[in-house]
């Protein structure tokens, strides 16, 4: 090819590029950082910036606008504050904070912006969605009628949860709040529910234990873990629950079902208060700004069961809150109780007494409750909560003196077996048929001959015993959630045989003992 031909080809290409170029005047607002400290930057020179808009800093950091003042705007940083200095250039983006969504997030550990924390490749999401999205309107919602099984007998039998519900888990520090939420996630291993766990300000060791538990006992390939550690930027800790909700809504809006555990909103409220005080917003009760209720309300209102016309998907929320010395009347707990559809209250005295999960049945409630329970469990557990509450009252009075009435003694003995049945090991969820069987056993008097200290052995051996002696009933209950009279008798027969075996092993002396050792001879 001659030089002239090459020149003509280059000229044609150059003309095409020039014609395609968008040549014209453009205007851009450029602000300057006036001051930056404690995760917040005050910026001047951006009169056209909007609330919640994403802004970019000269050295590569990003943040979002949290408040607008006459001469400056307050920007909460989403990256390390050390990368933002006074005098740095700042530009608005015209966009809000967005996160990747879609199946690519499943099985991953990410920060609130969707950046990997597990050493894996970057997330290639189906879309980039805003972290703040409006809650579904009333017209798009449906009744909450489908169950979310936690695998915890005390919850499923007394405070049943439904798909689309918001149930608060509340209690003092370190008494098993996270364990309840993680057990609920683990129990979705064999369901169609996708789980999202979001840690807000939790210690790295706590988050590591949760990740390990989900990987070992649950279905990590259908779980998203979002982490904003205490060392993360202030903005990341604030947007974490909103970003996780957006990730979960992706599945809800496509007709699937999702569960989100937010651990915890007490620390999120503290982060919101810190931002408000730094940005000079007026403090209110307990120094929280006046909008803290609205912040959590608009977050939790995003949990919903959608109608069939809108896909029929659901998002169930289990927010966690921490109490101080069991004080349910504190500001943040009362706010969250007002927003949610019930609360599971954990009691430190029960925890210290060895009752785990340490659920206080007197102060816990589910405002959806039996409407979502499987018919077999609803029928079996109809009197369980009342019987247990009466036992607790009677037990309290027996501390003042002996009990002589035979009926009262029988009720106390039955109540102690109910309490033993409601105890449960962590990461060991029960099947629906196991829960139905245990309630039938304790309510039907099957456990009366069994010493209380042998009830844990009964719980452990029950699933295998039912599979051996009542396999057909097990399959029927798991498939339909119902139990007929014949199936009930089959379960009772299998449990009676198990109790007899355990009672016999208790009463028989071991081969190594002398002949009279069992009876003290």
Residue numbers annotated as active site = 367
C-alpha–C-alpha distance, residues 272 and 299, integer Å = 13
C-alpha–C-alpha distance, residues 445 and 27, integer Å = 81
178 is in an annotated binding site: yes
C-alpha–C-alpha distance, residues 196 and 418, integer Å = 32
C-alpha–C-alpha distance, residues 256 and 244, integer Å = 16
- Burial of 271-300, coded b for 16+ CB within 10 Å and e otherwise, reads bbbbbbebbebeeeeeebbeebbebbbbbb
Residue closest to 44 by CA, chosen among 96, 95, 86: 86
506 is in an annotated binding site: no
C-alpha–C-alpha distance, residues 37 and 275, integer Å = 11
Return the bridge partners of 92, or none.
55
DSSP string computed for 149-199: --S-HHHHHHS-EETT-B-EEEESTTSSHHHHHHHHHHGGGGSSEEEEEEE
Count, residues in the chain? 521
Contacts with 215 (C-beta within 8 Å, 6 or more apart), sequence order: none
171 is in an annotated binding site: yes
**Helix (H/G/I), strand (E/B), else coil: 58:** coil
C-alpha–C-alpha distance, residues 201 and 237, integer Å = 7
For residue 226, the surrounding DSSP H or E stretch is strand 223-228
What DSSP state is assigned to residue 514?
A: -
Instruction: Tell me the CA distances in angstroms from 101 to 47, 127, 226, one per residue in order.
Output: 32, 6, 12
C-alpha–C-alpha distance, residues 489 and 444, integer Å = 11
DSSP string computed for 372-413: GS-HHHHHHTTTHHHHHHHHHHHHHHHTTS----HHHHHHHH
C-alpha–C-alpha distance, residues 182 and 152, integer Å = 11
C-alpha–C-alpha distance, residues 381 and 375, integer Å = 10
**Which two structure tokens, joined as six digits, stand for 468?**
């051996």
C-alpha–C-alpha distance, residues 291 and 331, integer Å = 13
214 is in an annotated binding site: no
174 is in an annotated binding site: yes
**What string of H, E and C letters represents the secondary structure of 37-55?**
ECCEEEEECCCCCCCCEEE
176 is in an annotated binding site: yes
Residue closest to 272 by CA, chosen among 56, 414, 67, 111: 67
- Residue ranges for the known binding site for ATP are 171-178
- Residue ranges for the known binding site are 171-178
């Amino acid at each position: 090819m001659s030089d002239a031909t090459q020149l003509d080809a280059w000229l044609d290409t150059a003309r095409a590029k020039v014609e395609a170029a968008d040549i014209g005047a453009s205007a851009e607002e450029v602000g300057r950082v006036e001051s930056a400290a404690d995760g917040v930057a005050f910026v001047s020179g951006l009169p056209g910036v909007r609330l919640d808009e994403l802004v970019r800093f000269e050295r590569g950091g990003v943040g979002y606008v949290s408040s607008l003042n006459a001469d400056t705007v307050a920007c909460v940083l989403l990256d390390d504050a050390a990368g933002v200095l006074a005098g740095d250039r700042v530009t608005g983006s015209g966009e809000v904070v967005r996160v990747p969504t879609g199946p690519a997030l499943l099985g991953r550990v990410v920060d609130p912006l969707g950046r990997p924390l597990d050493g894996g490749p970057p997330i290639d999401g189906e879309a980039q969605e805003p972290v703040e999205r409006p809650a579904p309107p009333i017209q798009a919602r449906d009744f909450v009628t489908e169950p979310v099984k936690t695998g915890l007998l005390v919850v499923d039998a007394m405070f049943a949860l439904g798909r689309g519900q918001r149930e608060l888990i509340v209690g003092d520090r370190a008494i098993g709040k996270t364990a309840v939420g993680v057990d609920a996630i683990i129990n979705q291993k064999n369901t169609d529910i996708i789980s999202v766990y979001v840690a807000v300000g939790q210690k790295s060791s706590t988050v590591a234990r949760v990740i390990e538990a989900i990987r070992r006992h649950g279905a990590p390939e259908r779980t998203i873990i979002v982490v904003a550690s205490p060392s993360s930027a202030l903005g990341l800790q604030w947007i974490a629950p909103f970003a996780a909700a957006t990730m979960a809504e992706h599945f809800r809006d496509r007709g699937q079902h999702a569960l989100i555990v937010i651990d915890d909103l007490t620390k999120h409220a503290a982060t919101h208060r810190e931002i408000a005080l730094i940005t000079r917003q007026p403090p209110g009760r307990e120094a929280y700004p006046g909008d803290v209720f609205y912040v959590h309300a608009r977050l939790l209102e995003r949990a919903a069961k959608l109608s069939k016309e809108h896909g029929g998907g659901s998002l169930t929320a289990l927010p966690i809150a921490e109490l101080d010395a069991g004080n349910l009347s504190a500001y943040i707990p009362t706010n969250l109780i007002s927003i949610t559809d019930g609360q599971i209250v954990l009691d430190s005295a029960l925890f210290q007494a060895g009752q785990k999960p340490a659920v206080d049945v007197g102060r816990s409630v589910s405002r959806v409750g039996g409407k979502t329970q499987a018919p077999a469990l609803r029928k079996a557990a109809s009197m369980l909560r009342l019987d247990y509450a009466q036992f607790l009252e009677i037990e309290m009075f027996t501390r003042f003196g002996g009990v002589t009435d035979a009926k009262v003694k029988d009720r106390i003995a039955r109540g102690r077996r109910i309490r033993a049945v409601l105890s449960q090991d962590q990461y060991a969820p029960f099947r629906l048929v196991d829960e139905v069987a245990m309630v039938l056993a304790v309510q039907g008097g099957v456990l009366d001959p069994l010493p209380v200290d042998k009830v844990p052995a009964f719980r452990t051996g029950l699933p295998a015993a039912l599979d051996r002696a009542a396999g057909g009933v097990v399959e029927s209950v798991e498939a339909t959630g119902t139990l007929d009279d014949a199936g009930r008798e089959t379960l009772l027969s299998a449990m009676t045989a198990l109790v007899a075996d355990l009672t016999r092993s208790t009463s028989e002396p071991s081969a190594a003992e002398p002949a009279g050792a069992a009876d003290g001879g």
